[in-house]
Copies of this chain bind each other. A is one copy, B any other.
Amino acid sequence: MTKGQDMSTYSEQDIEYMHQAIEASRQAVAAGDFPYGATLLATDGRVHVARNNQVTTGDCTGHAEVALVREVAQKLGPDALIGATVYASGEPCAMCSGAMFWAGVSRIVFAMPTSVINAVGGAPYLQPTTAEVLAGASRQIAVEGPLLQDEATQVLREFVTR
């Protein structure tokens, strides 16, 4: 279900939006939050970038993708989520995968795989990959990655060793 690291399978647009997600992960760290960011590309071309905010909000559900789903629904309307692509600097956890499923997202592209996050992060972790969480769901979501894994992992490494 994943495309792997072959950059030729991704468009320039994919790479640009993933760069934005990784930049948001840097901004999250600068704000005192955890090093994750996500970009939404709606089917009508609108773009929204969100970042982890769980420390600054005191809400453990404030992962970048859940923040993204809530912010987009509020600012652009819930229809902007339907059929959208989400670029996530870290492979979405079960909570975030579920949130994007319920939101109607059609495609998820991630930078760091779950295995890398769990190995580097030094934090509590859930085991299932995004594809495992979404397997057998009533609607299929394309899951692709890793894309720009090294760039995203560098942000996580700097966060862990800061």
Contacts and interface: CB of A to CB of B under 8 A. Distances in A.
Interface stretch (A21-29, A43-51, A120-128, A148-156): A120-128
Contacts of A133: 94, 126, 128, 133
User: Interface size for chain A: under 10, 10 to 19, 20 to 34, or 35 or more residues?
Assistant: 35 or more
A60 interface: yes
Contacts of A132: 128
Interface in A81-128: 81, 93-99, 101-104, 124-128
A16 B95 CA distance: 28
A32 interface: no
Contacts of A124: 101-102, 137-139
Given A60-B102, A61-B103, 4 more contacts: A61-B61, A124-B139, A125-B138, A128-B135
